[in-house]
Structure 1
């Protein structure tokens, strides 16, 4: 109990002395400087950069050109098939078998030789 009474008296005296005789700062401990709080990291908005992709009109032009190329390729393929069919028809009219072979076919051009 003596300890708590002495502690209370000492605290009161210390408070009174600090009010009457403020500290000059010569013997005080240096104040602990805390590091400043870091600034919050705000992610960069993707809209702050210029638009790098093609515009709607440019994209439409690219797709239109691609469709045109595909259309031309399909037309060329169909034209080759039609020419081949006409050639086969001409050979058939002359009585000659047309040696239609393709890579990996089960028969070769020798199978079409005419044996008279």
Structure 2
């Protein structure tokens, strides 16, 4: 159960690439890495989930909390490059209605 994150600052955009599994074991680490980014003034976060092989409800909770903090600081959050499985997870839970998600790369994410 490994999780790897790569954070890149590109002008006004912060691009985060996440790889591995997001579950009860790894979610606290992910939250710890992402929360400071969301607490900046006007954060513009694009998070690629291309290499995420598994996510459970604790992972969803990380992104809901992240979205709250981003909005509190007048920013934007985009989740990109979701697998069909992850996109279905966000759709089933209704989170696709509140979080900007896309199966395609956007905002300079390759």
Q: TM-score if structure 2 supplies the norm length?
A: 0.25
Which of the pair is proportionally richer in helix? 1
Highest Rg: 1 or 2?
Answer: 1
Richer in strand (by share)? 2
Q: Which structure carries more relative contact order (alpha carbon 8 Å, separation 6+)?
A: 2
* Alignment TM-score, normalising by the size of structure 1: 0.24
